[in-house]
Amino acid sequence: MEVILSSLPSMVISLFSGRLLTAMIPLIMKNEGQGLIKKGWIITIVSFIAALVISFVLIYALPFLSKISTKIYLIVAAFLGAVSLIGGITALKTGFLFKILPKFLVERFSQIGSITGITSGRNNFYRDGLNILKEHWLLGAGGNAWNSMYRQYQSYFYGSSEAHSLPLQMWLETGLLGILVLILLVVSLFILYFKNRKSESGIIITLVLMPILMLLAHSTLDFNFSYFSLPLMGFALMGCANGIKVKKDMEISIKPWVGMLLGLVIVIFPVSWQIGRSYAVKATKLVNHENVTPQDVLDSINIMEKAIAFNGWNVNYMIREGEPVDSDLLYDLSELYNEFYKILEKNDSNQILILETKQAALVKRAYKLEPYNPFIAMNRAQSMFHSGNIEEGLLAVEKALKLNPMYSPRYQEVAQAYLAVVQFYMEQGDEESAKPYLERIIKLEKDLKDTNSKALVNIEMTEKTKEYIEEAKQLLNS
């Protein structure tokens, strides 16, 4: 606590001086910063000296601060917290807060806290995340829950692979038990501090705990813990703090082979995933050039199948939604199958049935792996239609719409699928069997209206969807 208090002035100085310096960079890069480089050096030197002097003065006060009891710290902290809360609310309601805060802080708080509008992204992420949580609060929804399910619960159409909140995302994925573990972890850090703050290594422990708590605090409003390096850094610091603390005599006897076995189990998964990635990269290299031969495509398919064998949890190796984000992984197995299908059509149509069987099995596997992905659900529908399983295909289409109701083109896809079934029955002369499917197309108007009644931003029906609905009405009334 003493180190935290003594560090606050330096942190504030760094915040404001850093803001001034970063504002100069674009002007300097455009050769418009006459005299800014000199000004920047002055700001840097003055800030450094001011932070050093204030820290030096406060360090001398540490012996006195360390003698103050924990109860007094808690009383002072509670008093300051209450004053800050009351004063902050008053300043916010009167508008005084926005007058005294720097402009860049007001803009930042507006983005994070939805001060200026209800359509602030993160505010809606949290609201939609809580809606998911209502149905999965106890056991959670499994790994990658947010990315798999947010489109089904979103309050307007947006794309986000992260919930922008570690506690929310952990609760969604691991349930009540997981969030309790996170809470107990934070509590244990405070216990570690209060038990050791007056020991010889108390200051060092405090210095180590500060960045951990800062990372955890920031992760409540952002997805920094989704980057592999940051949790690795955080847990390494926790290990350091735990190693520095005052130790009591303990005797724990664990056989060496137990540790080796546990280590092997832990390491085997990332090693397998890395091998899978290396195969996937190799598959891309084989076909990512001019004058690709049929043998190149076939070899690439075989290698990508090996990649999936080593990492069967990565659906992007099977069917990827959207453009590739990794220049080393440009092709998924489904794309390679499609390329080989074109080759077989020209050269060896007898092998097409085998390829179609493999493609259907791939789609089924991806659908089982990510049952909440609307893009994969649509691929599943296409696979079912191709094999003649019309009703199963329509069920997959309906599921895709349910999983992604805020996406306007999804209604067009549903109408298109049902209209194809209608045309099939019309060609057979069975107009009576086509009626339920025509009625379903027309019902899309009501579905979209119901969705818009819950949406923050209304969804506009595509022109093509309107054409399909109008065609369905004409066919039904003819």
pLDDT value, residue 116: 45
The mean-pLDDT minimum among 10-14, 87-91, 246-250 falls in 246-250
pLDDT value, residue 107: 63
In the structure encoding, which two tokens stand for residue 349, read together?
């149509």
pLDDT in tens, 308-319: 999 999 999 999
pLDDT higher at 111 or 46 = 46
Using pLDDT thresholds of 50, 70 and 90, give the confidence band for residue 115.
very low
pLDDT in tens, 348-367: 888 899 999 999 999 999 99
**Mind giving me the DSSP string for 422-454?**
HHHHHHTT-HHHHHHHHHHHHHHHHHHHHHHHH
φ and ψ at residue 440, rounded to 5 degrees = -65, -40
Of 10-19, 85-94, 108-117, 290-299, highest mean pLDDT: 290-299
Residues 193-205: what's their mean pLDDT? 81
Residue linked to tokens 């405070």 = 190
**Cα–Cα separations (whole angstroms), residue 391 to 96, 388, 395, 411:** 62, 9, 6, 18
pLDDT value, residue 199: 79
Which amino acid is residue 143, in one-letter code? G
Using pLDDT thresholds of 50, 70 and 90, give the confidence band for residue 232.
confident
As a whole number of angstroms, the distance between CA 467 and CA 478 comes to 16
pLDDT higher at 373 or 243 = 373
pLDDT value, residue 34: 64
pLDDT value, residue 417: 96
The chain-wide mean pLDDT, for the chain, equals: 85
The mean-pLDDT minimum among 28-32, 155-159, 231-235, 293-297 falls in 28-32
In the structure encoding, which two tokens stand for residue 390, read together?
């019309």
pLDDT value, residue 119: 44
As a whole number of angstroms, the distance between CA 191 and CA 93 comes to 37
pLDDT over threshold 70, residue 33: no
As a whole number of angstroms, the distance between CA 218 and CA 86 comes to 23
The mean-pLDDT minimum among 7-16, 119-128, 278-287 falls in 7-16
pLDDT higher at 383 or 209 = 383
pLDDT over threshold 50, residue 400: yes
As a whole number of angstroms, the distance between CA 418 and CA 434 comes to 9
In the structure encoding, which two tokens stand for residue 367, read together?
């659908």
CA atoms within 13 A on the CB side of 66: 18
Rg (CA), the chain: 30
Q: Which long-range contacts (CB under 8 A, 24 or more apart) does 386-393 make?
A: 386/356, 386/360, 387/360, 390/421, 390/424, 393/417
pLDDT over threshold 60, residue 244: yes
Burial of 14 (0-12, 13-18, 19+ CB in 10 A): middle
Using pLDDT thresholds of 50, 70 and 90, give the confidence band for residue 239.
confident
As a whole number of angstroms, the distance between CA 71 and CA 28 comes to 51
pLDDT value, residue 421: 95
pLDDT value, residue 411: 97
pLDDT value, residue 6: 61
Residues 89-102: what's their mean pLDDT? 70
pLDDT value, residue 361: 97
Ramachandran assignment for 69, one of left (phi > 0), alpha (psi -120 to 50 degrees), beta (any other):
beta
Count the neighbouring beta carbons within 10 Å of the beta carbon of residue 379: 23
Which domains does the chain carry?
125-248 (no CATH), 253-366 (no CATH), 371-478 (1.25.40)
The answer to whether 336 and 301 are in contact (CB under 8 A) is yes
As a whole number of angstroms, the distance between CA 269 and CA 254 comes to 24
pLDDT value, residue 299: 97
Count the neighbouring beta carbons within 10 Å of the beta carbon of residue 30: 8
Residue linked to tokens 């080989």 = 340
pLDDT value, residue 327: 79
Instruction: Show the beta-strand stretches assigned E in 102-170.
Output: none
Q: What percent of the chain stands above pLDDT 90?
A: 49
Residues 278-284: what's their mean pLDDT? 95
Helix (H, G, I), strand (E, B) or coil at 116: coil
The mean-pLDDT minimum among 100-109, 212-221, 350-359 falls in 100-109
